[in-house]
Amino acid sequence: MIRAPLRRLSLRQRTVPFLHALQPDPTLLSQTANILFLLQTTRKVRDMAAPTRGRSWRRLRRALAHGVRAACHVRYAFTARVRAHDWIVAFDGKRARPLPGESPHQHLTRVCRTNRPQSLPSLIGIKETSRIHQVDMSRRFGHTDESYGALAFLCGLAGPAGLARLASQALIGYATTRDPQAAVIYAGLDLVERRHLLTQCGFLTTTSSTWLTEVLRTGFLTARPDIDVVEVLHGASTVTIAPYFARLHELSRATPIYVNLIADLPRFAPQSDHLLTDEDGEIACNIRLWQDRKGRDVAIPRNLFETPAIAFIGGASNDPDYAASSYFAKEIALLKALRRRLSLPIRYCVHPAHGPDLQARLIGRVRALGAQTTGLSTQDDILAARITVGGFSTSLVEAALLGREVFAYEDMGALFVPEIAAMLTFTPDIEALADNIAEACAAVSATSPEDDFNLVSALARRRYGLEMRLTDEVSPQ
C-alpha cells in the first residue's frame, strides 16, 4: 500500500482551529462591533490634498515597536494593580492634565466647574475621601502617581491572575474578527465584565471615542444597574454617532448621565433624555473653558466692547500642514472678502491644537490681511465680539447660545442636529456669505456697548457659570 506523505501543519493551521473551537461571547462581539462603529465614524475627515499614509514597512515597524512596548507593560499587572476603589475617571491629558502634586479630587474640582456654585464632583457624589483611579486616554503607556496610561490601566485591572485570560480573550477576539483593535476591545469588555465589582460608585469620563473609554463605558453600563456612568460632553454631538448611543442605551442596565458643555445646547436622543439637570435647568461643564482659569471671573478689556467686531474661529484638520490645507484656503478667501467690505476689527482665534510654529505662521498670514489676535482665549474673544464666523466648530454653537450672530462657511447641518443648524447662518458661496456678515455688522452696531455687555454677561453667567467684568487694560483690536 502506498501511503500519502504526512503534511506538517503550520503553527497558524494548528492554532486557529483551536481558537475557533472556543466559542466567543456573542454579546461581547455585538458590543465590540458597536464600539468599532463609533471609532470609525468619529475619525476626522482628511483634506483631499492630504498625503497618503506612510509606507507599509514603516507602519509595520511602528506597530512592532508598540507591540514590544505594550508587552513590557505587563509588569503593571504586578506593580500597579487596580484594587477596590470608588470611581474611575477618564480624561484627555492634552486638554486637562493634572497639575504636579494635584490630587484626583483637586484636579476634578478645578477642571469640572459648572454653571452652579458647586463643581461637578460634589454634584455627582465624588468626595475628597473617594478612592479614585484616573486614566489619561491621550497616552497608551505609563503609570504615575496621578494617572495611568490606557494599556497600563488595562493590565493593572487584570492583575497577575487575569493576564492569561486577558491574552486568551484577545486571541479569541482576533480569531473571530481578524482585527487587532477589535481583539483588544473584546478582551477589555470581558475584563470589565469580570472586574466591575472593584468599582463601588461609578465611572466619570471627560473624553470619548477612544477604545478604552468606550470599553469602560459599555462595560459598566451593561454590568449592573447600581453604578453611575457620567460623561461630560465636550463637543456638539454629530448625528452620525446617534446610532451608537441608541444601541448602547438598548443594552444598558444602568442609566447613563450626560453633562452638557453649555446649558441649552441641543442634543440628539437618547442623550437629550439623560442630561444632568436640577430645578434651575441644565447643569453645564465646559472642560476647555475651565482648564486654565483660577477663578470664575473673566476680565475683558473695555476697549474690545467699544467697537463691534468679528471673532473668526480658526480651524484644524488632520493635515500635516494646516496652512496648506483647503480648509485654511477657505479662511483666507473669506478674510479677503470681508476686508473688501468692512473696516471693523476681525480677531482671529487660532486653534489650540496647532503647535507654536504653525500658530505663528497662521497668525502671520491672517495679520497680513488685516486680522488681529488679542491674546485672549477663544471663549473670551467670542464674548467680546458681536459676530462669530467659522467652519466646523462647536465654538460657533456656543457663540449662538451667548447671544452672538453666527455665520458658517461649512454646512453644519450636514453633521449636527437640525436645532443646531438653525442657530447659525450657512452660505456656501464666500462672496454671498461676506455680504450677509456685512449686513449683520450694520445691524448689531445699533446696540450700545453697555447693552451688549449686559446681554452677553447674563448669558455667560447662566450657561457657563462665568462672572464677566471689564478692565481698563487696553488690548489690540
Has residue 48 been placed in a domain?
no
Cis amide leading into 270 (omega within 30): yes
Same domain, 200 and 307: no
Instruction: Tell which of 259, 290, 321 closes a domain.
Output: 290
Same domain, 119 and 245: yes
Q: How confident is the prediction for the chain on average, in pLDDT? A: 88
**Strand 199-205's sheet: what is its strand order?**
148-149, 132-136, 85-91, 199-205, 228-232, 256-259
Has residue 95 been placed in a domain?
yes
Q: Which three cell numbers stand for residue 142?
A: 505609563
Same domain, 200 and 285: yes
Has residue 47 been placed in a domain?
no
Please give the single-letter amino acid code of residue 438: A
Same domain, 365 and 227: no
Same domain, 195 and 313: no
Same domain, 228 and 368: no
pTM: 0.88
Residue 77 and residue 185: Cα distance in Å, rounded? 18
CA atoms within 13 A on the CB side of 432: 7
Residue 349 and residue 377: Cα distance in Å, rounded? 8
Of 381, 422, 388, whose CA–CA distance to 403 is shortest? 388
Instruction: Tell which of 290, 319, 341 closes a domain.
Output: 290
Same domain, 273 and 302: no
Same domain, 413 and 453: yes
Low-confidence ranges of the chain (pLDDT < 70): 1-22, 43-73, 475-477
Same domain, 309 and 424: yes
The per-residue pLDDT for range 403-447, each reduced to its tens digit, is 999 999 999 888 888 999 999 999 999 999 999 999 999 999 999
Residue 275 near residue 260 (C-beta atoms within 8 A):
yes
Instruction: Tell which of 290, 325, 346 closes a domain.
Output: 290
The per-residue pLDDT for range 318-337, each reduced to its tens digit, is 777 899 998 999 999 999 99
Has residue 235 been placed in a domain?
yes
Residue 342 and residue 435: Cα distance in Å, rounded? 10
Same domain, 224 and 332: no
3-state secondary structure of 215: helix
Q: How many domains does the chain have?
A: 2
Q: Where are the beta strands (DSSP E) in 382-454?
A: 387-390, 405-408, 425-426
Has residue 6 been placed in a domain?
no
Same domain, 286 and 310: no
Sole residue written with cell 467670542: 382
Sole residue written with cell 475628597: 128
Has residue 477 been placed in a domain?
no
3-state secondary structure of 86: strand
Residue 405's DSSP bridge partners are: 387
Has residue 422 been placed in a domain?
yes
Report the CATH number that the domain containing residue 437 is assigned in CATH.
Answer: 3.40.50.2000
Same domain, 367 and 272: no
Residue 432: domain span: 297-471
